[in-house]
């Protein structure tokens, strides 16, 4: 794309997408915090303030930092260089290399802070011009979590219960750390087939990883970007081991509520908070209450509808692709790994993540457009349809009156609530996809232990 197209069309969408997510989260938080009210705020005001007071200043500062680390920011045309040795790609031999130029730092800044993902170059954050140093790699990961994590503080301040905000944040961080440890362990252990042959047994699985970052930083980046619906990558997830690749896929299918996208992560987690409070009320035989407001059938129905929208999109499109010739035509791998590629594609599209098991070819040589069409529909469903029931929850909660706390009120802070929230996320969010995960990465892991390749 031209520099003009990138800086106008794509940049506007990068900012407004992030601002819309924060605006939806703000509306839901106001619905929880306000009582006996009739409004959730002004969306246009939220959009403008978020863009000008939060996203633009942070992006400007972050872009300057990236330039200081060596990320390109100019308007020069691509540079050509003569190779020492000619290369043959698709039967074409050349001794010329094209080196990308352009307004890269500014695009990287908002793609990370806004959890928009994508990459200026095809190699994404593994490309030295996009991610030159270990420090830039660390700060890019930190920026993905920065705003989404900070919104839990906003939740606590708005509801007048900062401990509740910390409890939600703690649940996110526990799930994140657990995912990172499992992914790192699986990648550091390496391919079981290689181990049985005595090859690279002590070096872990370095396939598809940038040597500058190694196994831990690649695994950490993979979990961060899939927890936060960002999609920027510094390694190839398709090259991860079966269990290593399971973790990023699992994080997306949780609903990307482990910090999640800016705004989207918070309102997604608040759906699970409502369900956790409802389950707690059922267990103790009391009417469920959340910060003094009764949680009734309507809120629970809307919460479940928002989750079922994602589940139906991911599993429905995956089943359609696997059962169709056009779906199988795009596979680069057979067996359970091929299934994982398709499942990851529709999970990533529905979750607005953007990362991929890159072995899947969305546009086969035949020119079939089924993948492009279905993935586009999955993006629309995942981004917009779940917003409708969430706004319905906000509208229902804002008009309710607040009851004073009593001895039977379930506290929404502290370790007990945090553990209940984690359990709700795992039981309700993850169990929807357990059969699909068992058919994909779990089966692949056990077959790999027996020496099978895909």
Residue 404: inside a domain: yes
Backbone angles phi, psi at 309, to 5 degrees: -60, -45
Residue 61: inside a domain: no
> In Å, how far are 47, 157, 207 from 218, measured between CA atoms?
34, 35, 11
pTM to 2 decimal places: 0.92
Residue 38: inside a domain: no
Helix (H), strand (E) counts: the chain: 19, 4
Length of the chain: 454
Residue 384: inside a domain: yes
The two structure tokens encoding residue 202:
């002590």
Contacts of 189 by beta carbon, 8 Å cutoff, 6+ apart:
195, 204, 205, 241
Task: Please list the pLDDT of the chain residue by residue as tens digits (454 residues).
Answer: 888 888 888 889 999 999 999 999 999 999 999 998 889 999 999 999 999 999 999 999 999 999 999 999 999 998 888 888 888 877 888 888 888 899 999 999 999 999 998 888 888 999 999 999 999 999 999 999 999 999 999 999 999 999 999 999 999 999 999 999 999 999 998 888 877 777 655 678 898 999 999 999 999 999 999 999 898 999 999 999 999 999 999 999 998 899 989 999 999 999 999 999 999 888 877 788 898 899 999 999 999 999 999 999 999 999 999 999 888 888 888 899 999 999 999 999 999 888 888 778 876 655 578 898 999 999 999 989 989 999 999 999 999 998 887 766 788 999 999 999 999 999 887 888 999 999 999 999 999 988 887 7
CB–CB of 233/125 below 8 Å?
yes
What is the count of structural domains for the chain? 1
Domain of 327? 133-449
Task: State the Cα–Cα distance between residues 20 and 264, nearest whole angstrom.
Answer: 9
Residue 304: inside a domain: yes
CA-based nearest residue to 430, from 244, 275, 253: 253
In 63-180 the beta strands, taken as DSSP E runs, fall at 79-89, 92-99
Residue 432's Cα: distance from chain center in Å? 18
Residue 267: inside a domain: yes
Residue 439: inside a domain: yes
Residue 172: inside a domain: yes
CB–CB of 27/391 below 8 Å?
yes
């Amino acid at each position: 794309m031209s520099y003009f197209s990138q800086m106008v069309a794509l940049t506007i969408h990068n900012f407004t997408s992030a601002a819309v997510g924060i605006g939806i989260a703000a509306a839901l938080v106001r619905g929880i915090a306000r009582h006996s009210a009739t409004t959730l705020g002004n969306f246009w005001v939220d959009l403008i303030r978020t863009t000008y007071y939060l996203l633009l200043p942070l992006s400007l500062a972050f872009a300057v930092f990236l330039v200081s680390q060596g990320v390109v920011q100019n308007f020069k045309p691509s540079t050509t260089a003569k190779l020492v040795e000619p290369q043959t790609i698709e039967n074409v031999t050349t001794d010329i290399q094209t080196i990308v130029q352009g307004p890269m730092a500014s695009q990287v800044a908002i793609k990370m802070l806004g959890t928009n993902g994508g990459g200026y170059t095809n190699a994404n954050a593994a490309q030295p011009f996009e991610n030159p140093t270990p420090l830039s790699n660390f700060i890019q990961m930190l920026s993905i979590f920065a705003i989404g994590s900070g919104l839990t503080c906003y939740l606590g301040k708005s509801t007048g219960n900062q401990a509740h905000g910390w409890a939600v944040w703690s649940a996110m961080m526990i799930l994140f750390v657990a995912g990172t440890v499992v992914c790192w362990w699986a990648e550091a252990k390496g391919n079981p087939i290689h181990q049985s042959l005595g090859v690279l047994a002590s070096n872990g699985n370095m396939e598809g990883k940038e040597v500058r970052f190694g196994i831990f930083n690649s695994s950490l980046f993979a979990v961060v970007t899939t927890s936060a619906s960002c999609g920027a990558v510094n390694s190839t997830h398709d090259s991860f081991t079966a269990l290593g690749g399971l973790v990023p896929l699992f994080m997306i299918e949780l609903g990307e509520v482990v910090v999640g996208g800016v705004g989207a992560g918070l309102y997604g987690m608040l759906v699970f908070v409502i369900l956790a409070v409802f389950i707690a009320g059922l267990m103790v035989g009391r009417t469920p209450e959340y910060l003094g407001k009764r949680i009734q059938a309507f809120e629970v129905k809307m919460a479940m509808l928002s989750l079922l929208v994602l589940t139906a999109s991911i599993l429905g499109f995956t089943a359609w692709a696997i059962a169709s010739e056009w779906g199988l035509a795009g596979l680069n791998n057979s067996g359970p790994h091929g299934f994982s590629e398709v499942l990851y594609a529709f999970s990533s599209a529905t979750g607005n993540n953007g990362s991929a098991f890159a072995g899947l070819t969305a546009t086969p040589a035949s020119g079939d457009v089924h993948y492009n069409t279905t993935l586009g529909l999955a993006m629309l469903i995942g981004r917009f349809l779940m917003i409708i029931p969430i706004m319905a929850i906000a509208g229902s909660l804002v008009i309710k009156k607040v009851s004073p706390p009593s001895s039977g009120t379930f506290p929404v802070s502290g370790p007990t609530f945090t553990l209940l929230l984690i359990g709700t996320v795992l039981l309700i969010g993850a169990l929807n996809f357990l059969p699909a995960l068992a058919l994909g990465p779990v089966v692949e892991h056990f077959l790999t232990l027996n020496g099978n390749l895909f």
